[in-house]
Amino acid sequence: MAKNSCLAKITAGVAVGGALGGAVGAVYGTYEAIRVKVPGLHKVRFIGQTTLSSAAIFGLFLGAGSLIHCGKGY
């Protein structure tokens, strides 16, 4: 039961990190696309890449943090 609970905490950490990273990445990607003046439909690709990469990194780190925290026995 404890292992399953730990897996649920890690999954929740990855999900929250991905959602937070995606939101931050979308805002930052939009700002950068406007600032750098990315032409036409390339903006969509630029914003999408920024959103997905930011979501992946935030999700990875928050999932790793949840894994480390799950191993501690308080």
Residue type, 54: S
Name which of 20, 19, 18, 27 is nearest 50 in CA terms: 27
pLDDT, tens digit, 9 for 90 and up, residues 42-68: 999 999 999 999 999 999 999 999 999
Phi, psi of 13 (to 5 degrees): -65, -45
Q: What is the pTM of this model?
A: 0.84
Residue ranges of domains in the chain: 15-70
pLDDT, tens digit, 9 for 90 and up, residues 12-51: 999 999 999 999 999 999 999 999 999 989 999 999 999 9
Cβ proximity of 58 and 28 under 8 Å: no
Question: What Rg do the C-alpha atoms of the chain give, in angstroms?
Answer: 16
**pLDDT confidence of residue 1:** 47
Residue keyed to tokens 């979308």: 26
